[in-house]
Amino acid sequence: MNASTIAAIATPLGRGGIGIIRISGDRALSIALSIFRPRSLQRSSTSVCCSQPDLIISHRLYYGSIVQPDTQAVLDEVLLAFMKAPHTYTREDVVEIQAHSGYAVLKAILNAVLQSGAELAGPGEFTRRAFLNGRIDLTQAEAVIDIVNSKSERALESAASHLSGGYKQHVEQLRTALRDILVRMEASIDFPDEADELQLLSVYPQLQSIVLEPVLRLIQRYEDFHFVRDGYCISIIGRPNVGKSSLMNWLVKKNRSIVTDIPGTTRDVVEEAVIFRGIPVNFFDTAGVHITQNTVELLGIEKTYERIYASDLILLLLDASVSDYELETQLLDITGSIPVILIFNKIDLAANPDYIVNSEKFSTFPSVVISVKEQTHLEEMVDLIVKKILEKTHSEEPVGFIPNLRQMRALEKAAAHIRQAMDEIQRMSPPEVIVMDIRDAIECIDEISGVRTTDEILDHVFNSFCIGK
C-alpha cells in the first residue's frame, strides 16, 4: 500500500452539472471529514462526524457542505461518498466529493483537501495505484486510458474488451504454454538420462503452434486494427494547386487548410481528426510536390515525403485538366506497398475526361474523377475511401482486443526469442541454451501484463493519462 493520500479533480474543468474531487489513500476519510459538514449533523454538533468516522458507512452518499479549513466558510453544497478498501478503484480507501462543476469551486475544494493533508495526484496516479495494488494488470490499465480516449464505437468496444480482461487472459494463456515448455525443458536438464532427442524435437511444433503463431496473430491484429484506436492515417498528396487543401476542407467539413489559386500555398502538414462514416480517421493535407529552389517550400516537401511513409492510405490528387502525369508517376513509385487511390480533380476544367478514365498508366489503381469546386462525384470518392479502409479491416465485425504499440513491441521481442529457441532446437543445441531463449520470451510476455515491469515503462504508460484518472 502507498503511504500518501492523493487527491485530484476527476472531471474535466469547465462549467457543468457536477464536478468530482477524488481522494485515495489511508487518510482519505479523515481528510474529507475534516472539511465536510454533513447536513443531518449541522444543526447539532459538526464535530461528531469528524471525531467518529465510523458513523460514515461505506458506499453510501452523504449530503452536506465543504468548508474552508481555516475560516470554516462554506465552499459548496456537496454529496460525499466514502468507499472503503478493498472494494474501490484503487483498492485503497476512496472518497469522492460531488460538487457543482465550475473551475473556481472545484479548485477551492481541491485546495481545502490539499491543505488538510492530501497530496496532489500525478497523471494516471489513481489507475497506477489500482495496478500496483493488484486490482488490474497493465493491459487493463492501458484500456482505461483507451476508453477515455475512444473516438468511435469500435475503439470503445475494443478498449472495453481489454478492460474486462479479454486480452489479459490471452496473454496468460501464452505465458502458461511457455512455462509448461520451460518446466519440461528444465526437467530434461536435471534428468538428462530421460531426455532424448525425440522429446526435444517435440517441443518445436509446440512452440510453433501454441506460442509463435498466436503471438504473430496478435502482432498482425496490431497491423490490421491499430487505426481503430489511433485513427486511420490518410494523406492527400499531389502537385501544387491541384486542389488538395480544397479536398481536405471538404472531407473534414471545415475550413482547416488555406486555399488560394497561388501554387505552393500549403507549406506545412495540416492534420485533422474526424469520424468518417463511423471510422476514426486522421486526414493530412500536405505541401504540393514539385521541383523548387524555395527553401521554405523544400522543407514542406520533405515533410510531405515523411508523411507518405507514415500513411495507411494515400489519396494522390491529379489535375484532370492536364495530360502530363510524369510527376505523379514518380510519386507512385515511392509509395511502395501503401494503398493509393487516384483522385482526378477539376473535372469541370477537363477538355477530354474520357482520356483520364481510360489511361492505362494508372489502370492498376482504384480511381475516381471529381470536382471539389462543382461538388461532383464526391460521395463516390468517399465510398471508394471507405471500401479501401474496410478492405484492410476485412469486415465491420466487432474487433475484439488490439495490442497497442508498447504491447506489440513486446510481442515482437517475444516472437524473436521463440524463433531463436526453435532455431536452437533444429541445430540440436544443448537444452541449457534453449531454455535461456524461452525464459527471455516469458520475460517479454510478462512485460505486456506488467508482471515484470520497470518504473520507466510505468511512467510511459501512466504519463499519457489525465490527472484525476
Ligand X SMILES: Nc1nc2c(ncn2[C@@H]2O[C@H](COP(=O)(O)OP(=O)(O)OP(=O)(O)O)[C@@H](O)[C@H]2O)c(=O)[nH]1
If phi over 0 gives left and psi between -120 and 50 gives alpha, with beta otherwise, what is residue 195? beta
Q: Can you read off the three cell numbers belonging to residue 213? A: 503463431
**Which residue shows C-alpha cell 496516479?**
125
* Least Cβ distance, residue 367 to Mg ion (angstroms): 21
The CB-of-353 to ligand X minimum distance in angstroms stands at 12
The least CB distance from residue 368 to ligand X, in Å, is 13
**Of all helices (H) and strands (E), which one includes residue 282?**
strand 279-285
* Residue 29 to residues 5, 97, 456, Cα–Cα distance (Å): 10, 11, 32
Helix (H) or strand (E) holding 380: helix 378-393
Rounded to a whole number of angstroms, the minimum distance from the CB of residue 287 to ligand X is 6
Distances 190 to 71, 186, 187 between C-alpha atoms, Å: 73, 6, 5
Binding site for ligand X (CB under 6 A): 240-246, 259-261, 263-266, 288, 345-346, 348-349, 371-373
Residue 212 or 372 with smaller CB distance to ligand X: 372
- Closer of 88 and 345 to ligand X (Cβ): 345
| Residue 158 partner contact from ligand X, Mg ion, none using kind-dependent CB cut-offs of 5 to 8 Å | none
Q: Which is nearer to Mg ion, 254 or 361 (CB)?
A: 254
Q: With respect to Mg ion, which residue has the nearer C-beta, 50 or 381?
A: 381
**From the list ligand X, Mg ion, none, partner contacted by residue 193 (C-beta under 5 to 8 A by kind):** none
Q: Which is nearer to ligand X, 24 or 371 (CB)?
A: 371
Residues forming contacts to Mg ion in the complex (CB under 5 A) are 244-245, 265-266
Nearer to ligand X, 98 or 266 (CB): 266
Residue 123 contact partner, candidates Mg ion, ligand X, none, CB within 5 to 8 A by sort of partner:
none
CB of 285 to ligand X, least distance (A): 7
CB of 180 to ligand X, least distance (A): 59
Tell me phi and psi for residue 148, to 5 degrees: -60, -40
- Residue 371: which of ligand X, Mg ion, none does it interact with, CB under 5 to 8 A by kind? ligand X
Cis bond before residue 123 (omega within 30° of 0): no
Residue nearest to ligand X (CB): 288
- List Cα–Cα distances, 107 to 98, 104, 111, 113, in angstroms: 13, 5, 6, 10
**Which among 314, 325, 321 has a CA at the least distance from the CA of 286?**
314
